[in-house]
């Protein structure tokens, strides 16, 4: 019998998109999501939000009379996240930890700049495999492109951070957020990233991207909220693992990168949608690496639960 994490329920959850691939300042508000205004006191802003191929989310959970905030991923460039934090008027003072979904550059780009602005010591939760280098993406012509090395243990420590390794599930934020650690892979159709390889003992081998991890939060009375970074383990595997380790089998919301962009992943779109339909989430917010074709498919398959993300969006999930 699986021993479940002692994950406490949250009364309310707020997820603010600091960076994502897509920006649209004309999207409207709903009961779940609010968007930043493009005009203030009758004037159109002279500046605007930035988007990039990256992800960064500010996640706050409320319960037991208090709140806890973590930063999930830090985008790609050294400009986007920093600019958007300032534009949105967000404060980093209350951030208790930075959680990295994995070691790829589009999730770690602003880490050192952010650490320089944050309290010390700042816990940085990261799977140990995230420090693996070199890592590559293979090309159709037989060549390969090396991913930049954006994570260095000593450099992180120099910036006043405390590295917390998360190979196993880890509770943070007053035990109201679970960091998945390495996600168990059980589905037959989710094969990871086929063109990712790494160098081991002088040979090129498949990169399992075992550092891939997600966040799990239990919303009181409604079920699990799953927040993925890239979901290289597969978004269905990610949800299934969350249910297994938390013992919460209701799925209220699933959001984040689903990594279904491009011809390598389009063949599993139907199967992924069918599996998610069986889970019947109330809210679906595909982001970042999900890909436009996949996002469009999700919008049609889940017309009542799909929400289009945009930089600056704030999602609020409440138990009441």
Please say whether the beta carbons of 311 and 84 come within 8 A.
yes
Chain-centre distance for alpha carbon 41: 34
Tokens for 89?
Answer: 């008027």
Q: Does domain 9-318 have CATH number 3.30.70.260?
A: no
Residue spans of the domains in the chain: they are: 9-318
Residue 220 has pLDDT above 50, yes or no: yes
For residues 242 and 248, give the distance between their C-alpha atoms in angstroms, rounded to a whole number: 8
Q: What is the residue-averaged pLDDT of the chain?
A: 95
- Specify which residues 285 forms β-bridges with: 255
pLDDT digits over 145-175, tens only?
A: 999 999 999 999 999 999 999 999 999 999 9
pLDDT digits (tens, 9 = 90+) for 247-295: 999 999 999 999 999 999 999 999 999 999 999 999 999 999 999 999 9
Express each pLDDT in 24-51 by its tens digit: 989 999 999 999 987 777 788 778 999 9
Which pTM does this prediction carry?
A: 0.96
Phi, psi of 28 (to 5 degrees): -90, 175
Structure tokens at 202: 């002088």
| Nearest in space to 72 (alpha carbons), one of 122, 36, 113, 124 | 124
pLDDT of amino acid 71: 98
| Beta pairing, strands 283-287 & 251-257 | parallel
pLDDT band for position 1 (50/70/90)?
very low
pLDDT at 2: 64
Using CA atoms, how far apart are residues 315 and 13, in angstroms rounded to an integer? Answer: 8
CB of 33 closer than 8 Å to CB of 315:
yes
Which candidate, 181, 219, 184, places its Cα nearest to that of 315?
A: 219
Q: Are 289 and 258 in contact (CB under 8 A)?
A: yes
pLDDT value, residue 275: 98
Distance from first CA to last CA of the chain, Å, rounded? 32
Per-residue pLDDT, 314: 98
Is residue 98 helix, strand or coil? strand
pLDDT digits (tens, 9 = 90+) for 49-103: 999 999 999 999 999 889 999 999 999 999 999 999 999 999 999 999 999 999 9
pLDDT at 3: 82
H helix or E strand, kind and range, residue 81: helix 80-87
What the block records as the tokens of 137 is 């993406």
Beta-bridge mates of residue 163 = 124
């Amino acid at each position: 019998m699986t021993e479940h994490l002692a994950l406490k329920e949250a009364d309310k959850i707020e997820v603010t998109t600091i960076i994502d691939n897509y920006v649209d300042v004309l999207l409207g508000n709903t009961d779940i999501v609010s968007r930043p205004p493009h005009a203030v006191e009758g004037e159109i802003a002279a500046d605007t939000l930035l988007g990039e191929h990256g992800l960064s989310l500010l996640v706050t959970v409320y319960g037991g009379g208090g709140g806890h905030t973590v930063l999930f991923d830090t985008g790609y460039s050294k400009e986007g996240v920093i600019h958007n934090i300032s534009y949105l008027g967000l404060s980093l003072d209350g951030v208790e930890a930075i959680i990295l979904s994995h070691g790829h550059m589009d999730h770690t780009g602003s880490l050192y700049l952010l650490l320089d602005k944050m309290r010390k010591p700042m816990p940085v939760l990261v799977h140990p495999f995230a420090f693996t280098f070199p890592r590559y993406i293979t090309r159709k012509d037989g060549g390969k492109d090396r991913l930049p090395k954006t994570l260095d243990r000593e450099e992180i420590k120099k910036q006043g951070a405390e590295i917390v390794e998360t190979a196993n599930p880890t509770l943070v934020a007053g035990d109201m957020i679970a960091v998945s650690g390495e996600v168990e892979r059980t589905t037959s159709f989710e094969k990871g990233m086929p063109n990712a390889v790494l160098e081991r003992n002088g040979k090129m081998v498949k990169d399992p991207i075992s550092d891939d991890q997600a966040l799990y939060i239990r919303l009181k009375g409604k079920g699990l909220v799953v927040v993925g970074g890239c979901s290289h383990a597969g978004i269905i595997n990610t949800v299934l693992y969350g249910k297994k380790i938390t013992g919460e089998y209701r799925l209220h919301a699933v959001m984040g990168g689903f990594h279904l962009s491009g011809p390598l992943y389009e063949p599993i779109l139907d199967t992924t949608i069918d599996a998610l339909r069986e889970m019947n989430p109330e809210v679906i917010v595909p982001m970042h690496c999900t890909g436009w074709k996949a996002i469009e498919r999700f919008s049609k398959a889940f017309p009542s639960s799909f929400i289009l993300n945009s930089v600056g969006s704030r999602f609020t999930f409440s138990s009441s």
